[in-house]
Each structure stands twice: as C-alpha cells, then as structure tokens.
Chain A
C-alpha cells in the first residue's frame, strides 16, 4: 500500500497566517501528531514576501504596498523577494523530517527532488520545465517558479511559488528593482526572464487545473498518496502564536 501524506489544499489566508502555518507544521512534525505534509495555497490579500536575509526597505516599495493593499512579510527561508499575486500565483510547501528515507540529506539534492515534483506537475500541464540550481525552475529559459528551503527542528521545510498569470506591472510597482523606473522597456526585460503558465502555454490555466497537476507531481515524485486533511489542534495553537511574530514590525523590519 502506498504511503499517505497529508494535503492541506488551497487554503486562502493572509501572509502572516500562511507563513505561520508553514512554520507551525515544521515545528510540530517531530513533536506532535503531525504527518508529512504538502500544502497548496494562495495569498489574500496579495503579498510581497522577502527572504530572511533581505532588507525590507531595500526590496519593497512600502508606500506602493500600502496604496494597493499588498501585505509585506519576512520569511524564515533565505532567497529573494516574491510578489504573491492572489489572482496569478499558487504557493506550495512541503514538510518532512530530514531523516525521512525519501529526503536526501544533502540540501541541494533535496532542492532538486522537491523542485522535481513541481517540474513533474508542470510537465503534466504541457510545460517543458527544468530545475535550475540552486532554487529556480525555468521553462523555455525563463523563470516560472522560485523556491526556498530551511532546515530546523530536524525537519525540511521548502516552500515555493508557481506563476500562473501574475501581474508583472504590479510586481514592479511593489518590488524595488534598483532605482530604475517602471518603464515598458523594463517590463519587456522582465518578460524575457520571467514567464507564467498563461504566457507559456498561450491559454488560460485555472487554479483548479494547476492545483491538480501539482498534486499529481508530488504524488508521482514521492510515490505517495496525498490525502486531504486539516491542521491539528496543536498546530492551530502554534499558528496563533506564530501569527503574532509574523505580523510584528519587529520581525518584518529586523533588517
């Protein structure tokens, strides 16, 4: 019989809640009754997440975020700033013990394996995607997914983004890209480097279609069945506590 992992499917929450859920599952995995878990989710309101080491004022146009009602959050994972467009992006996360027989001890190898699940999901949609070390997935040479991993509490937590139909103009309004102005030329330059499902496939791809493909990608890659489930009571308590951290100015503005 196939091993079963928990699927927490397409929860729509604000930025502090999403980041609190990811960390809560990682904290609970080895201590509480928490199984290996894959989450797929969307951010409402849309949000900018920055990497653990990034300077918030350096990366984010804070007045623009305020103007457009875009949340700003710091992740516990490294890497770069991401615009999580509610209408154009799916985020995933995966939590499994470092000692899990399916999880490579080597960090780079585990990036490749977990990103492989996304690559397989994208392939199912007809996208010729490939892993580009350290932490990107590209299609036709353009980035379609960014990923970030941390290891703590004896657990691997990796989360990442799959661009479905993101608003690149808005992305450039809320992220600070040097001090260059948002010109059509700049947007064209970005379109040369970044793509999404709609642009790559030349058709509308709904969240349900993308979601199903990603679920299959995880199931095939890890040879597991994903079974829909909810957060445990212990996790829910942790989420409440961590939500306070993630929404605090102290956390978001620490560097």
Chain B
C-alpha cells in the first residue's frame, strides 16, 4: 500500500492510500477533514480512480469534477491529484 498526506496551505488535510497494479490505480481511499457536497461523491471519485492508468490521473480527476456537481471547501480538485501523486511517489 502506498500512502501520503497533503495539507493544503490555508486549507484542510487530505490523505490518500492506494496500490498500483499493472500501471493502474487500485484500492484508492481518500480521507481527510475537508468538506465535499454531496458527501457520497467521494465514493464515486474513489471508484472512478480505481483502474485508472497512472498517466491519466490528472485528466480523470479534472473530468470527474467537471462532470459532477460537487462543492468543495478546504481543498480543490487539483489537491486530489496532488495527494494521489504524492502517494504514488511514496
């Protein structure tokens, strides 16, 4: 399991836990003290990230937040990319 934490400057904490199988993300879990409305969207995001080729991370996250009506406080879409990338590098 790869893990990383990222504290958004002036914002909240994000943590990611994941594995990589055959160049694809697997078992992605994102936690933290941020706010996301509606809350259950996090489960959709995790599902979307699972099986995503590592090189498509940015596009997948950006598309997810473009296509879903999500309101975030304390974090932004790019912070999810950042914490997953940090976990990949761990």
Task: Pick the interface stretch among B35-43, B51-59, B81-89.
Answer: B35-43
> Which residues from B are CB-within-8-Å of A135?
35, 73
Report whether over half of chain A's contact residues are helix, strand or loop; otherwise say mixed: loop
Chain B residues with Cβ below 8 Å from A53 are: 30-34, 36, 39, 42
Number of interface residues of B (CB under 8 A): 17
Binding-face segment, A77-85, A160-168, A191-199, A211-219: A77-85
- The answer to whether B33 touches A81 (Cβ under 8 A) is yes
- With beta carbons under 8 angstroms apart, the residue of A51, A80, A150 that contacts B37 is A150
* Contact status A255-B29, CB under 8 Å: yes
**Taking CB as reference atom, which chain A residue is nearest B39?**
A52
- Chain A residues 75 to 98 lying within 8 A of chain B, measured CB to CB, are 76-81
Residues of A within 8 A of B48 (CB): none
**A78 vs B41: C-alpha distance in the bound complex, in angstroms?**
12
Residue of A nearest to B32 (CB): A53
Distance of A145 Cα from B74 Cα, bound (Å): 17
Specify which chain B residues have a CB less than 8 angstroms from the CB of A149 in the assembled complex: 35
Q: Which residue of B lies closest to A50 (CB)?
A: B33
Residues 43-59 of A at the B interface (beta carbon under 8 Å): 51-55, 58
Q: For residue A178, which residue of chain B has the nearest CB?
A: B5
CB of B62 within 8 Å of the partner chain? no
A107's contact among B15, B30, B33, B37, by CB below 8 Å, is which? B37
In contact, A78 and B39 (Cβ under 8 angstroms): yes
Q: How far is the CA of A78 from the CA of B34 in the complex (A)?
A: 6
7 A-B pairs closest in CB distance: A80-B33, A78-B35, A55-B31, A134-B73, A52-B39, A51-B33, A53-B32
Residues of B within 8 A of A (CB): 12, 15, 29-39, 42, 71, 73-74
Give me 18 other A-B pairs in contact (C-beta within 8 A), A55-B15, A78-B35 excluded: A51-B32, A51-B33, A52-B42, A53-B31, A53-B32, A54-B32, A55-B29, A76-B39, A77-B39, A78-B73, A80-B33, A81-B33, A107-B73, A148-B35, A150-B37, A150-B39, A151-B38, A255-B29
Chosen A-B contacts, 21 in total, with CB atoms closer than 8 Å, are: A51-B33, A52-B39, A53-B30, A53-B31, A53-B33, A53-B34, A53-B36, A54-B31, A54-B33, A55-B31, A77-B35, A78-B73, A80-B33, A108-B73, A135-B35, A135-B73, A148-B35, A149-B35, A151-B37, A152-B38, A255-B31
